[in-house]
Chain A
Amino acid sequence: MADSPAEKEIAGEQQWREKAQAKASGDEDSFVTISGIPVDILHTPGSLPGFDYQRHLGFPGEFPYTRGIRHNMYRGRLWTMRQFAGFGSAADTNRRFKYLLDRGQTGLSTAFDMPTLMGYDSDHVFSQGEVGRCGVAIDSLEDMEILFDGIPLDKVSTSMTINAPAAILLALYIAVGEKQGVPSEKLRGTLQNDILKEYIAQKEWIFPPTPHMKLITDIMGFCAQHVPKWNTISISGYHIREAGSTAVQELAFTLADGFAYVQAGIDAGLDVDVFAPRLSFFFNAHMDFFEEIAKYRAARRIWARTMRGKYGAKNPLSWLMRFHTQTAGCSLTAQQPENNIVRTAFQALSAVLGGTQSLHTNSMDESLALPSEKAVQIALRTQQIIAHETGVVNAIDPLGGSYFVESLTNEMEAGAEEYFRKIEALGGVIAGIEKAFFQREIAAAASAYQKAVEQEKRVVVGVNRYEREDEEVEIELLRIDQQMEEDQKKKVRSLRARRDSRAVSKACKALREATGKDKNLIPPILEAVRAYATLGEICDVLREIYGEYREPPVF
């Protein structure tokens, strides 16, 4: 901490600082983290006033989990190298899933296309040109059956990156399980299901915040009873950071979202120690190496302390924060894309040193196009090199005790707490969203960063320094077949013609009635998907009752 008074002066430090000051050259303002936190030239015991090993750090696997959530960390098990993928039709992705399972993978990670993410069927006017593009297209139970055809759901765990229509995808998954004879109690997997960060950053919402929070507590309540092994929410800072936030904002807003879900669960009458262990987190790994490590360490400590202190959780599993990390897509440059391999490697290393449970590394060409196979392989190899060659997995939290890293961890925590106070004063996360507080904070940070780059106060290699004027980028392009969209449109239309339409309208009517009342909506949604109501039709029922969200314009 740059300005904090040292508790006791280290002999000779003052004199040393004077000497260093005398030799200082250049612009002192440029020694700040990527988020703009000024960094002191040297850290000493004086940088850590009141430092108490047990209180601040403790042991790995023990409260407050600053050093990690497992006793043996990566010696017991490496992080999961989970590369997110999905494309085209359910059949295309099913083939990819089987290929991965044949090669020993036990977990699946599903990317959905934009129409699915936004709750539109493939033949909706808004879906034009986007079907199957950035993920798999799912319109109904028919597609979901094909997606998991020949894959026993009691044997795999499935992660689904889905938010606005998460309740419907969960119901579809349960329904496929039923068809396979797998009871819901045996299903394992994760829903992203983090709608708050959609309003704050990623903007893939359907309904307004208040009714959507009810859908989320319905999922938490239903899963606690019927799908106990399911991770109900993956609370995500990734997208907040990609939208241009600082590291402190990512930390603070993500945790604030997490606490909002916890409070919503408690308010809905659920037992915190039943649902909290099913919550996990998802962070970004950006360029500023030490700042990122400090962010992960602070996140664990804040979560543990708050869950135990404020929310009275008694189950240690409610205190420990499990998280997935993805390297920063927004840090990749279109110029000299090979340099992105190096960026990604440093980012991945920070996530590992920060104690992540799983990791996705971006491919070098993602600032230009969908990743090519070769680029994806290099990205995966980057993780494997960190795991097997660098030796960083040998000792737990190897940077713990570094004056700099500890002081930065404290600073992250203090910065987050400052935000928690502001958010509380606004009336909580949803009030903050409606008043555009988060959106405004992020927009200001994004614009400050852009200005710093344009004024060359911040160097981005290949973009504002070491540019090559003659650069010609040769990138292998992954093209998505246009025919697929037509086929998918035909498919959903033919389903509507074939199915028992009376059963569909009955199920939709029941859902409409339940939505008006204060009932858990997962059972009627499950009924609707069993009757082959489409994703778009179910969302339309909910749109009709809940309305659609429009964000307050903020710049």
Chain B
Amino acid sequence: MERKIRVLIAKPGLDGHDRGAKIVAGALRDAGMEVIYVGLRQTPEMIVESAIQEDVDVIGISILSGAHNTIFSRVMSLLKDQGAEGQILVCGGGIIPQEDREKLLAMGVSRMFGPGTATSEIVEFIRQSIGEGMGEAQET
């Protein structure tokens, strides 16, 4: 059976702006990936637990509320607690100021996509990053 790239898409924060998250989810599906869409109002605990259970390759987090520093640092530390650190590609999208963006990368977030990013760029990034690890994943 062909191995599929699995991606979790989550939208933390109390606001309901999920247009971007849904467009990305649809584009990744169209690119042949399996997208686990957990939707709105996800806490870092919920995101990480879902990602672990679903054994995803990628966590994609859409944040517009301005709480990105809090959310991402919690997600990264929870992944570490679960022993999944460095095994899941974590990326995000939203309105993130440059200086915060650097902080997030330093935390281990792989990439932050800003407004106006083409979905094809996201697909390409995921394929390239995960493609390398795919062979390994087949081994037991």
Chain A complexes with chain B: yes
Interface residues of A (CB under 8 A from B): 114-115, 117-118, 120, 125-130, 133-134, 198, 202-205, 242-244, 330, 333-335, 367-370, 443, 446-447, 450, 453-454, 460, 463-464, 473, 475, 477, 480, 551, 553, 555
Q: Once bound together, how far apart are the Cα atoms of A144 and B67, in whole Å?
A: 25
Q: Is the CB of A133 within 8 A of B66?
A: yes
> Who on chain B is nearest to A472 by CB?
B98
- Main secondary structure, interface of A, reads loop
| Cβ B23 vs Cβ A446 within 8 A | yes
Q: How many residues in B have their beta carbons less than 8 Å from beta carbons of A? A: 32
Nearest residue (CB) in B for A204 is: B16
| Chain A binder among B33-41, B50-58, B81-89 | B33-41
Docked pose: A203 CA to B66 CA in angstroms: 18
A-facing residues in B12-70 (Cβ within 8 Å): 13-19, 22-23, 25-27, 29, 37, 39-41, 43, 65-67, 70
Contact in complex: A133, B65 (CB < 8 Å)? yes
- Which B residue sits closest to A330, measured CB to CB? B19
**Distance in angstroms between the alpha carbons of A525 and B71 in the assembled complex:** 35
Q: For the complex formed, measure the closest distance between the CB of A120 and the CB atoms of chain B, giving whole angstroms.
A: 8
Enumerate 8 A-B pairs (CB-CB under 8 Å) in ascending A order: A126-B43, A129-B66, A133-B67, A333-B116, A369-B95, A447-B26, A464-B118, A477-B97
The residues of A that contact B114 with a CB separation of less than 8 Å are 334
**Would A473 and B67 be within 8 Å (CB), given that A202-B16, A244-B19 are in contact?**
no
A residues near B70, Cβ cutoff 8 Å: 128-129
Residues of B with C-beta under 8 A to A460? 116
Residues A368 and B37 in contact in the complex (CB < 8 Å), given A244-B19, A335-B116: no
- With a cutoff of 8 Å between Cβ atoms, the chain A residues found around residue B120 in the complex are 454
Complex contacts, B13 vs chain A, CB 8 Å: 114, 130
Q: B: which residues have CB within 8 A of A?
A: 13-19, 22-23, 25-27, 29, 37, 39-41, 43, 65-67, 70-71, 95, 97-98, 114-116, 118-120
Give the residue among A129, A367, A553 with the most B Cβ atoms within 10 A. A129
- Which A residues touch B98, using CB under 8 A? 473
Q: How far is the CA of A473 from the CA of B13 in the complex (A)?
A: 26
Contact among A120, A335, A480, A555 for B22, CB-based, below 8 A = A555
Provide the bound-state CA to CA distance between A335 and B118, in Å. 13
Q: How far is the CA of A118 from the CA of B41 in the complex (A)?
A: 11
Q: How far is the CB of B77 from the nearest CB of chain A, in Å?
A: 15
The interface centre, meaning the residue of B18, B22, B39, B95 with most chain A CB atoms within 10 A of its CB, is B22
Chain B residues with CB under 8 A of A198: 16
B39 to chain A: closest residue by CB: A553
A367 to B17, CA, bound (A): 14
Chain B residues closer than 8 Å to A335, beta-carbon distance: 116
CB distance from A249 to the nearest CB of B (A): 14
The answer to whether residues A126 and B41 also contact, given A117-B14, A454-B118 and a CB cut-off of 8 A, is yes
A130-B65 in contact given A333-B116, A555-B26 (Cβ < 8 Å)? yes
* Chain B positions within 8 Å of A127 at CB level: 14
A204–B15 CB distance below 8 A: yes
With the chains together, A133 CA to B65 CA distance in Å?
Answer: 8
CA gap between A480 and B15 in the complex, in Å: 17
Residue of A nearest to B23 (CB): A450
* Alpha-carbon distance between A201 and B71 when the two chains are bound, in angstroms: 24
Which A residue sits closest to B44, measured CB to CB?
Answer: A128
Residues of chain B within 8 A (CB-CB) of A243 are 19
Q: Is the CB of A114 within 8 A of B95?
A: no
Asked, given contacts A114-B65, A368-B97, A454-B118, whether A447 binds B16 with beta carbons under 8 Å apart, the answer is no
- Chain A residues lying within 8 Å of B65, measured Cβ to Cβ, are 114, 129-130, 133-134
Q: How far is the CA of A368 from the CA of B100 in the complex (A)?
A: 12
Given contacts A114-B15, A130-B65, A555-B25, contact A367 B118 (CB under 8 A): no
Among the listed A203, A242, A244, A367, which residue makes an inter-chain contact with B115, where contact means beta carbons less than 8 Å apart? A367
- B40, A203: Cβ atoms under 8 Å? yes
Contacts of A368 in B (CB 8 A): 95, 97
Closest residue of chain A to B15 (Cβ to Cβ) is A114
